[in-house]
Amino acid sequence: RSDRFFTIHIDQLDAATMATATPGVREGPSTWRKNLSAHLICPECKEVPPNLEFPDSHETVCGSCGLVLSDREIDMHSEWRTFSNDDQNNDDPSRVGDAANPLLNGNQLETQIAAGATGKARELYRAQNKQSSEKTNKSLLAAYKEIGALCDGFNIQKNVADTAKYLFKIVDDAKAFKGKSQDVIIAGCIFIACRQCKVPRTFTEIFAVTKVTRKEIGRIYKALEKFFTAQNLERINNVVQNGGKYSRLQMFIFSFAGMY
């Protein structure tokens, strides 16, 4: 019994000596490492073939019978991440956030604040609503929603609705036709979009959808046609000055509206 106590006491002294000998060294938490000596064996065929790992679906499948041995595995590899060159105005291919919507203004990375019950939350909500970019995007989203609803109610294809939205975006960016009603401009954009997408509609059909008179549709159509022609020539001149390079929004407009 005394020998056992002596042995334990000596072990404690050795541990204390080791701790005081290296006071600056602390044993941190051990890093996780994959146990290479442990093998995952299929319970059905009970063989040890090379299992197949699918990183996309996070599954491990038996190489013999195809039984799924494990799913929802955690990928321990490094995350793919690259940065764009700020001096060359390149796109950042990082997988962070949603893709930018070319139909909206700004970088679209704002934080949306909901109207809460406290006074601080209401103040933050009002302060955010005062931003000009948010107001512009809200008006654009309201117009896009109306265009989509009108096209859906008239069984017009989605590409026509997208074209009408892009045409409306051009008009809104140029701040043109300020005296015109938004409903009239939307009716003209839908009429031109139908012609651009090779599914023309008459003034009577557009009147049945938008409730805008045929006379107003004819007037806005002529005005928009002149406006888009001038915008197209201006874009062509800008492209020539920029060395023949189109911007992303210009490529979208040309591809949807067919203005080459």
Q: Over the stretch 58-98, which tens digit does the pLDDT of each residue have?
A: 788 888 888 888 777 776 666 655 555 555 555 555 555 56
- Full-prediction pTM beyond 0.85? no
- Residue 137 Cα distances to 90, 95, 129, 141, 173, angstroms: 25, 24, 11, 6, 11
Per the structure block, which two tokens stand in for 236? 């062509």
Give the whole-number percent of the chain exceeding pLDDT 90: 18
Mean pLDDT of 25-33: 59
Q: What is the CATH number of domain 121-257?
A: 1.10.472.10
pLDDT in tens, 132-191: 556 677 888 899 999 999 999 888 889 999 999 999 998 988 888 888 899 999 999 999
Q: What percent of the chain has pLDDT over 70?
A: 58
Averaged over 112-123, what is the pLDDT? Answer: 77
In which band, very low, low, confident or very high, does the pLDDT at 119 lie, cut at 50, 70 and 90?
A: confident
3-state helix, strand, coil in the chain (%, to 5): 50, 5, 45
3-state secondary structure 92-120: CCCCCCCCCCCCCCCCCCCCCCCCCCCHH
Whether 217 has a pLDDT exceeding 80, the answer reads: yes
Annotated domain spans of the chain: 121-257
* Contact between residue 176 and residue 227 where contact means Cβ atoms under 8 Å apart: yes
Residue 42 phi/psi, 5-degree rounding, is -65, 130
